[in-house]
Structure 1
């Protein structure tokens, strides 16, 4: 599979993950539902500040992407792919950071049970379970831990998600 085809395949998988009601379109409510499901999987109250950050970041991601293609209310898969390609994939690491950092930061804060600002292997395993991932947490952690310090920073996670979606990293990070 070419790198471009792999990128498109991973974006389609991301779209399917966000399409929480399975209607072939994603709306703000789909991303709100996905964020709520993740918060509940972590066992966090939706009223907790850590939960509120994720419950805010996911819908903002939808707002940003829909604005890029002039969509009103919902995105088709083609619109999602167009916006993600333009704003995330083609923009490289800067695009990933600009678009995805808020949601990744919120996930780190949710997973970071010891409050050190990073994600430990145990916290990462809980993260993967919360996103419904059937992923070997140890293998994925080693692939993402770029500096080898046994902790994952927001920067490492943004880089890893970007590298995964650009086809440069094979560690599955989608949770599907």
Structure 2
């Protein structure tokens, strides 16, 4: 876990670019995922995505907002992110997000996502999606299982690259 990966994650979460993470940013991320996958917010899948992101906000706010001003600064995030990783809190927050976004992307409900479905939920700027899909597809079957997807999402957060 490097400060660079924590900083990169912070900027990925800061949807409005104001230098702080707020509940708004997490809601905007949920909405972005719903728009990308074409899943309406009022469906069970859509509600799961929104709930997962808002749960992430609640956990992050409790753990990272050290001055309790209702927002998380870059320095608060970087200073506490390693603790989230080491205590397993990151995994507890990430699992519902992974499950909800995977299920939203898995439009045919077969428990695997195709390269096209993968593109609807993998949105880090500057990412070669073909290469990212290939790395995530650990067994090389041309499809990504939930386990492969969850491993790839976790790696994206803690990988210094």
Q: Which TM bucket (shorter chain)? A: 0.7 to 0.9
Secondary structure at 2:142 match in 1: coil
- Match 1:119 to one of 113, 123, 134: 113
TM-score normalised by length of structure 2: 0.85
Deviation at 1:42, TM superposition (A): 2.2
Secondary structure at 2:78 match in 1: helix
- The answer to whether structure 1 residue 32 and structure 2 residue 32 are counterparts is no
Superposed CA deviations along residues 73-131 of structure 1, whole A, max 9, x for unmatched, are 2111122223321112x35xx55532311101111011001101221222112323xx3
TM-score normalised by length of structure 1: 0.78
**Aligned residue in 1 for 2:157:** 165
- The answer to whether structure 1 residue 86 and structure 2 residue 83 are counterparts is yes
Contact 1:66 1:83 in 2 (8 A): no
Contact 2:6 2:157 in 1 (8 A): yes
Structure 1 segments unaligned to the other structure (5+ residues): 171-176
Question: RCO greater where, 1 or 2, for CA within 8 Å and sep 6 or more?
Answer: 2
Contact 1:111 1:127 in 2 (8 A): yes
Contact 2:105 2:120 in 1 (8 A): yes
Instruction: Provide the aligned length of Structure 1 versus Structure 2.
Output: 159
- The answer to whether structure 1 residue 136 and structure 2 residue 128 are counterparts is yes
State how 1:3-152 maps to structure 2 within 5 Å: 7-69=2-64, 71=66, 72=68, 73-88=70-85, 90-91=86-87, 96-128=90-122, 131=123, 133-152=125-144
Measured in 2, the distance between the counterparts of 1:160 and 1:78 equals: 26
CA RMSD of aligned residues (A): 2.2
Measured in 2, the distance between the counterparts of 1:28 and 1:95 equals: 18
Deviation at 1:16, TM superposition (A): 1.3
Measured in 1, the distance between the counterparts of 2:37 and 2:124 equals: 11
Contact 2:33 2:101 in 1 (8 A): no
Name segments (4+ residues, structure 1) moved above 4 Å: none
